[in-house]
Chain A
């Protein structure tokens, strides 16, 4: 038996539970590409959710630096909701259910999706806290009136050509708005702009930094007394932020760490990258991760909105008690 055949046999044993058809990838691609073309967002959401956090705040419109949310904190709960709906109808599965893919695509492509008010409020609080910390540190920045999504999801799903086309159009928006520096607030956007845009848009010459890079650890206070950390794989293993994050937190709270569970090399993923294609497997990965983390602490601090929604699902699925926070909910800069 060749290795390939052997592997197929092994996989077929499991097929009952998680076969997905490529039709679903095709449907998802078409929805995302169409939505990006129509609205610069990957799903047909109510666009006001992306800018609501700005209400009542002032910006330096003459600055070449922008605070760029890519709408990810606001969109993450939308993706979570859409996936839960689609999973309920079985559209992410193949075989006899393949015809439902078309229904799923129509659902995702036409319905105007909206997160719960609670999720919108939470995303806004997080972004406003990031805004406040940067302002307290004297950082000057503006925002784009019509902020485009980064395109990260296309790349992560494997649609590299579609991503490259889209990245070029986003770069044009940034260039037309005279953007010289971008402050990101999540790891997916940071990775996409810092590592992928220069690869796929050769003329891309904009400096990209995470808001975490601006924070002065001497001025950062931690509001939670005891917790463990769930690292974003991108921050820890692709973007070298593991020590930076600990530098902001250590000595200011009782941080429960373990060399393997919260280690830079070995900490497990939340399952997020396959939540929209293999939600069942993503759920198992998230449940495992939550069970590991609660061995250290019931308070889990994340750094990424995608990790947050996936671990939230993991908590539900594994029926454990845990409190989830984003790092921007537990830190502040004196007076922010």
Chain B
């Protein structure tokens, strides 16, 4: 989760030149949110910036092809999108 090989392939990272809009940034945000208990009944506040980072993923899976650890990045982000929407649009 730290090598960043995935970033060169990511269209939103390339368009915005911000780590938060690349696969590594998104996966690490998700990891932190899960560790904080988001979506597991704990009251974790997330601001619009975090939401935008996750919700702008295209699920194009270009990052998946670059990940040496074989992480299914696009799927993980999509699943977390659904968790955000479920948790925040009740």
Residues of A within 8 A of B (CB): 2-4, 7-8, 10-15, 18-22, 25-26, 29, 94, 156-161, 233, 237-238, 264-269, 271-274, 277-278, 281, 284-285, 288-289
Contact = CB atoms under 8 A, between A and B. Distances in A.
A285 B22 CA distance: 13
Tier of interface size on chain B: 35 or more
A284 B65 contact: no
B15 A281 contact: yes
Interface in B17-36: 18-21, 25, 28-29, 32-33, 36
A158 B16 contact: no
Interface of B: 9, 11-12, 14-16, 18-21, 25, 28-29, 32-33, 36, 47-53, 55-56, 58-62, 64-66, 78, 81-82, 84-86, 88-89
Is chain B's binding surface mostly helix, strand, loop or mixed? helix
Given A159-B85, A266-B9, A4 B32 contact: yes
Contact of B33 (A4, A160, A273): A4
Contacts of B53: 7, 11
A272 B12 CA distance: 12
Contacts of A18: 16, 52, 56
A281 B56 contact: yes
B9 A265 contact: yes
Contacts of A12: 49
Contact of A11 (B18, B33, B36, B86): B18
Given A3-B32, A25-B85, 17 more contacts: A4-B50, A10-B18, A15-B52, A29-B85, A238-B61, A265-B9, A266-B62, A268-B14, A269-B60, A269-B62, A273-B58, A273-B60, A274-B55, A281-B15, A284-B15, A285-B12, A285-B14
Nearest to B65: A265
Is chain A's binding surface mostly helix, strand, loop or mixed? helix
Contact of A19 (B33, B52, B61): B52
Nearest to B88: A22
A185 B4 CA distance: 36
Contacts of A22: 51, 85, 88-89
B55 A10 contact: no
B82 A159 contact: yes
B18 A14 contact: yes
26 contacts: A7-B20, A7-B28, A10-B19, A20-B48, A21-B48, A22-B51, A22-B88, A156-B59, A158-B55, A158-B81, A161-B82, A233-B59, A233-B62, A264-B65, A265-B62, A265-B66, A266-B65, A268-B14, A269-B60, A271-B11, A271-B58, A273-B58, A274-B55, A278-B52, A281-B21, A285-B11
